[in-house]
Amino acid sequence: MLWWLLALLLIPLLDAVFLVYVAVALLGGLETVLLVVLTALVGMLLVRAEGRRTMRKLQTTLGKGSPPTNELLDGGLLIAAGAFLLTPGLVTDAIGFLLAIPPTRALIRGALKRWVVTPYIEDKTGGFATGNVYTFGFPDSDDGNASEDTYDLGNDAYDVDLDDDETAR
């Protein structure tokens, strides 16, 4: 959680420093403002078009009866892209474009599924959603060895000695 807070504080700082650098050293004040406005407008048009495409894909996937996991993650990434593109600055616009362009969004979606979504679902369902269900043993034991709560019954574990009267019934 601390990393997210640090990133949220670091991105605006980088954005401000980079805007000042571009305005002073490269373009000038008015051109930098026009560039920020232009990237926001172009980015919002891209997010709008990709949002419509994602909605069509979501409807098609639901029509087939499949779970729309990729489409839902794409929708969330497009919402984040829109927020980054509306925030004034060139660094946030670059992040927004990375989230809005389909090839990079597919890479980010794959990383999110692998390192965030699947471990979260695995943890919350105990493995039932992903199929990693424990079929024997104790899944929450600290080590793979037998603990003090387990008992070794040896070879006699299933030998049941019945009286003759019970076997006749």
pLDDT of the chain along its 169 residues, tens only?
788 888 888 888 888 888 889 888 888 888 888 998 999 899 999 999 999 999 999 999 999 999 898 999 999 999 999 999 988 888 899 999 999 999 999 999 999 988 888 888 888 887 777 777 666 655 565 555 555 555 566 665 555 555 655 555 5
pLDDT at 96: 93
Put simply, whether the predicted model's pTM sits higher than 0.85 gets the answer no
b/e for 83-120, b at 16 or more Cβ within 10 A?
ebbebebbbbbbbbbbbbeeeebeebbeeeeeeeeeee
Which of 103, 94, 56, 88 is CA-nearest to residue 75?
56
Joined tokens for residue 116? 């965030």
